[in-house]
Amino acid sequence: MNQMNRIALALALAAGFSSSAWAANPMDRVGVEHNAYLSCLMADEGKIPSLQRLIDRCGYRPESKPEEFVRAYEPFMPKDAKSTYAERLAPYRANFSEAEYAFVERIDAALSTQAKSPEELDKALDKLEAQALAQLGDKSTGARAILASLSTARHSLAFWTPYYSERESGEVAARWPRWLKVVVRVVASVAADAATAAAVASIGAAPAAGPAAGVASGIVAAALLDWQNAE
């Protein structure tokens, strides 16, 4: 099965159902799309993900003309791979109510904690997702952005944990649990794409949130791998 068929299958499944753990989130498709397009972008070893490659390589069809899509969403792409979730969303504070932005701070806190395992971090995100649904609902643009961000964070965690773990080898990996070695890279990547999904969705552009977040996450991963190789 080629990359285009894999993306089509993932999106078809997303349209039909979600996993039992994520089914309650009406914005879960954002996270599914994030992983589908990110998988395509990361299949090109050595090539930096970009919005243009999202269209040319992965077959994404934006609602606007391709050049307009690239121009509109380029400002959302990360410039600093090590910025936190909250730092990435600070410029979009006005798009959220007080209650909604409180979840930005709570998500940032979860991603700033040195979780002992990916399961522990996923559990924290799952709890926040349930609380956001109960407290915010899904009617406002800001609430949907928070839900899109949490979906993206959980799907992203499932993508990046094995990705970075498989790249660890040697004496250090043998002495320490792999999660302790890869947690910084995993969390940096998750924070980038979850924040990008929230930012894009907060301007009322939820259909572009997943694909754009996939590009942002890939850009951060490429930077992190470059730094790792330089160490």
Q: Which residues of 123-158 are buried (b: 16+ CB within 10 A; e: fewer)?
A: ebbeebbeebbeebeeeebbbbbbbbbbbbbbbbbb
Give the pLDDT score at 165.
80
Classify residue 171 as exposed, middle or buried by CB count within 10 Å of its CB (0-12, 13-18, 19+).
exposed
What pLDDT is attached to residue 185? 86
Taking alpha carbons only, the member of 231, 200, 172, 221 closest to residue 63 is: 200
CA-closest candidate to residue 210, choices 219, 218, 202, 201: 201
Sign of CA dihedral 84, 85, 87, 88: positive
- Domains of the chain, by residue range, sit at 3-230
Helix (H, G, I), strand (E, B) or coil at 21: coil
Per-residue pLDDT of the chain (231 residues; tens, 9 = 90+): 444 444 443 444 344 334 444 458 999 999 999 999 999 999 987 788 999 999 999 999 998 999 999 999 999 999 888 899 999 999 999 999 999 999 999 999 999 877 788 889 999 999 999 999 999 999 999 999 999 999 999 999 999 988 888 776 544 444 445 666 788 888 999 999 999 999 999 999 999 999 999 999 999 988 887 655 444
Question: In 10 A of CB 38, how many CB atoms?
Answer: 30
Contact (Cβ atoms closer than 8 angstroms) between residue 219 and residue 52: no
Angle, vertex CA 154, rays to CA 27 and CA 177, nearest 5: 175
Hey, what are 147's tokens? 């839900």
Rounded to whole angstroms, the Cα distance separating 208 from 29 reads: 11
pTM summary value? 0.86
pLDDT for 23 equals 56
Pick from 7, 14, 22: nearest CA to 153 = 22
Ranges of beta strands (E only) in the chain are none
Instruction: Please state at what angle helix 118-136 crosses helix 141-165, rounded to 10 degrees.
Output: 170
Q: Is 175 helix (H, G, I), strand (E, B) or coil?
A: helix
